[in-house]
């Protein structure tokens, strides 16, 4: 049986309700681990220990008098430092926000609290959530719990590292271009990128505080140690924004009960021009072989054109970013775009063009997005889920060189641009689809590999159910060895 800090949130919530452990005991377990282990990990950047202890004590008192308990009653959680938390510093890793203390919670954070969760702290990310590594001037660097020389990913890197290292029961993060799925894959934990629009993003930074704006494709979602935890959290988070709640309701379909052999599974293992590093490809293949051996119908398929999907995603994401950039930054990028050779298709050139794109170009991107969403919908009439890589490599070494455009990553011994890591996560995001990243084992390089499980729009629970079935065949979360033998107050 797993040590207490590595038990799933579902198990811990049940143990709290059954009074097998108190909320105070569980909170003290996590706070003790943060004190011992976080200095070398850099995952948790702000603690709210005193308030958390008061709330944990009150949670225990409520259970003692048989008061109604929410699904997350007494569960200590952490929150990515770009989600506003009432009375608790929220910096988004930006020096400009070093002293920012919101007056209210982000809507998703408020839903966690209403369900009984205890927010004990905030986790690290890149400044303005703008990188796939997690480091900033305020709090320094977050390390990968599997290898401190490597990044946990980003932008929800502190979140994934905290969950993997057993510093938190559950985490709330966000995803625009892969910010939940990248660190989940690189730290060996579970995440759900919900279908776009089903979890409110009010109170997320960016945009800057006081600038209400819903960035297209951006979502808020959980990171956890099991697929069941994702379902537990989805039930709490999903629902209309309060502004819209008077007019509509959300009832996500349940996942149909299926025997193993009844799943129809498509696999998109590779794409011309987008090689996947061997450790990732090997673990994806091993998972597919396990599914086939269990009797599942598994077929290779190519649902959409990856290059087109990535182009559309970046035009929409970066076009949305343009609206919240400081004027000077926007002017510099627009000037750069105007002087580019049309033949230059490098990532920096694409970024500048997308920031400065015209309204006509943005409208055309939305037309392409609509066609891609229709293609995915047709594809999912034949399959229940699609399996594909989350990232092209396992966790990369820290690279904080200031010239981001010059950064490179290594894929099968060759060098590819740093910005070209996101093909599969961004292709899925452009179509608003739900996607779970699930652990697929440890690669030949000793690092975790994550598989992306994609489902039809609004069929989030199908992706979660498949992730649970997959874990039954290949295993699920594995604690990082350097953190598995550390302190725990007790076992259940």
Task: Report the C-alpha gap between 137 and 125 in whole angstroms.
Answer: 11
Query: Is position 193 annotated as part of the catalytic site?
Result: no
For CA atoms 350, 354, 355, 357, the dihedral sign is: positive
Catalytic one of 22, 23, 80, 226: 80
Q: Which residue has tokens 């995001």?
A: 429
Buried b (16+ CB within 10 A) or exposed e, 136-154: bebbebbbbbbbeebbbbb
CB 124 within 8 A of CB 157: yes
- Residue of 148, 174, 158, 225 whose CA lies nearest to 447: 148
Catalytic one of 168, 179, 226, 309: 179
The helix (run of H) or strand (run of E) holding residue 372 is: helix 359-379
Catalytic one of 22, 23, 134, 155: 155
Task: Give the DSSP letter of residue 150.
Answer: B
- Residue of 270, 226, 244 whose CA lies nearest to 388: 270
Please list, in sequence order, all residues whose beta carbon lies within 8 angstroms of the beta carbon of residue 174, skipping any fewer than 6 positions away: 80, 82, 83, 129, 155, 156, 180, 201, 204, 218, 219, 220, 221
Residues in the chain: 492
For residue 473 the two structure tokens come to 């065949």
Query: Is position 179 annotated as part of the catalytic site?
Result: yes
Query: Is position 155 annotated as part of the catalytic site?
Result: yes
Q: Which residue has tokens 């050779």?
A: 341
CB 112 within 8 A of CB 72: yes
For CA atoms 240, 241, 242, 245, the dihedral sign is: negative
Among all residues, which ones are annotated catalytic? 80, 155, 179
């Amino acid at each position: 049986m797993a040590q207490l800090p590595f038990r799933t949130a579902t198990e811990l919530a049940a143990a709290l309700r059954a009074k097998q452990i108190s909320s105070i005991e569980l909170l003290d377990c996590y706070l003790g681990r943060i004190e011992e282990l976080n200095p070398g990990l850099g995952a948790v950047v702000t603690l709210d220990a005193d308030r958390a202890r008061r709330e944990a004590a009150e949670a225990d008192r409520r259970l003692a008098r048989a008061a109604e308990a929410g699904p997350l009653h007494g569960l200590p959680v952490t929150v990515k430092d770009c989600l506003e938390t009432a009375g608790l510093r929220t910096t988004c890793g930006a020096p400009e926000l070093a002293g920012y203390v919101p007056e209210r919670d982000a809507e998703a954070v408020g839903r966690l609290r209403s369900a009984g969760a205890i927010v004990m702290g905030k986790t690290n990310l890149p400044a303005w959530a703008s990188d796939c590594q997690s480091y900033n001037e305020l709090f320094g660097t977050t390390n990968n719990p599997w290898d401190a020389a490597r990044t946990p990913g980003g932008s929800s890197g502190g979140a994934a590292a905290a969950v993997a290292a057993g510093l938190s029961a559950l985490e709330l993060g966000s995803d625009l271009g892969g910010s939940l799925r990248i660190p989940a894959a690189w730290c060996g934990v579970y995440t759900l990128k919900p279908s776009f629009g089903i979890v409110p993003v009010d109170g997320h930074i960016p945009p800057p505080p006081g600038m209400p704006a819903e960035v297209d494709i951006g979502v808020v979602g959980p990171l956890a140690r099991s697929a069941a935890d994702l379902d537990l959290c989805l039930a709490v988070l999903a629902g209309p924004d309060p502004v819209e709640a008077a007019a509509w309701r959300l009832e996500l379909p349940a996942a149909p009960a299926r025997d193993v052999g009844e799943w129809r599974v498509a696999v998109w293992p590779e794409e011309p021009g987008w090689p996947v590093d061997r450790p990732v490809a090997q673990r994806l293949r091993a998972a597919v072989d396990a599914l086939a051996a269990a009797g599942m119908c598994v077929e290779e398929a190519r649902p959409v054109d990856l290059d087109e999907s990535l182009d559309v995603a970046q035009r929409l994401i970066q076009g949305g970013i343009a609206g919240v950039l400081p004027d000077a930054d926007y002017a510099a990028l627009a000037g750069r775009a105007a002087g580019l050779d049309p033949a230059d298709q490098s990532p920096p050139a694409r970024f500048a063009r997308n920031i400065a794109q015209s309204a006509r170009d943005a409208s055309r991107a939305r037309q392409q997005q609509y066609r891609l969403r229709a293609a995915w919908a047709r594809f999912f009439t034949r399959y229940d889920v699609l399996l594909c890589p989350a990232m092209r490599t396992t966790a990369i070494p820290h690279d904080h060189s200031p010239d981001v455009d010059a950064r490179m990553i290594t894929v099968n011994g060759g060098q590819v641009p740093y910005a070209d890591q996101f093909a599969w996560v961004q292709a899925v995001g452009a179509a608003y689809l739900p996607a779970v990243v699930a652990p697929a084992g440890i690669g030949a390089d000793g690092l975790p590999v994550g598989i992306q499980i994609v489902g039809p729009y609004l069929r989030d629970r199908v992706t979660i159910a498949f992730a649970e079935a997959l874990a039954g065949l290949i295993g699920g979360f594995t604690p990082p060895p350097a953190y598995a033998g550390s302190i725990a107050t007790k076992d259940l």
